[in-house]
Amino acid sequence: MHGLEEPSPWVRRWSHLVPTGGRVLDVACGQGRHVRWFAGLGHPVTGVDRSPEAVSSVAAVGEAILADIEHGPWPFAGREFNAVVVTNYLWRPLLPAIVQSIAPGGVLIYETFAAGNETLGKPSRPDFLLRPGELLEACADLFVVAYEDGFLDGPARLVQRIAACRALPAEPRPRHAL
């Protein structure tokens, strides 16, 4: 079933950056593959999606929020998370809110399709494809731990992905082990 596949290798690779016991938000969580991954690591989790089926599938794992985050208000205004995870999703107007939701010492782990993917398949609309360097621009106030922009095999696709941390107060760069 779609959404129940293994967590993204990118998410797994950088999940150790989430502070122990830190609260994780999965944006556009779908069936909850990353909600389940982080819950299994002992993190309190929150998933948000506009699909009632998706939200009901993660409700037993953690906080599940039904919200149309593209046409309604950001349901987490004023809340911070130790990690925000986004995969295979892009709604540009939310990028600032997503970045602002990262607590000091927290991490953003983001992976989605990039410009050029239209030559390989879907998504193909520019609205759903990151422009070159767009994630770097969105994370200008964060410390970039890792960034990739290019081709992935199996299935073939073009992606941008980033792991970026917010420094603690009075700490110029976050201290995270790679």
Q: Which helix (DSSP H) or strand (DSSP E) does residue 18 occupy?
A: none
What's phi and psi for 90, nearest 5 deg?
A: -150, 125
| Residues 115 and 126 sit within 8 Å (Cβ to Cβ) | yes
Distances (CA, A) of 142 to 70, 118, 159: 24, 29, 20
First to last CA, the chain: 33
Domains of the chain: 18-165 (3.40.50.150)
What's phi and psi for 17, nearest 5 deg?
A: -75, -15
**pLDDT tens by residue, the chain, 178 residues:** 445 689 999 999 999 999 999 999 999 999 999 999 999 999 999 999 999 999 999 999 999 999 999 999 999 999 999 999 999 999 999 999 999 999 999 999 999 988 766 677 787 787 888 899 999 999 999 999 999 987 878 787 878 899 999 987 766 565 555 5
- pLDDT of res. 173: 61
Residue listed under structure tokens 């700490």: 171
- pLDDT of res. 171: 62
Beta bridge partners of 158: 151
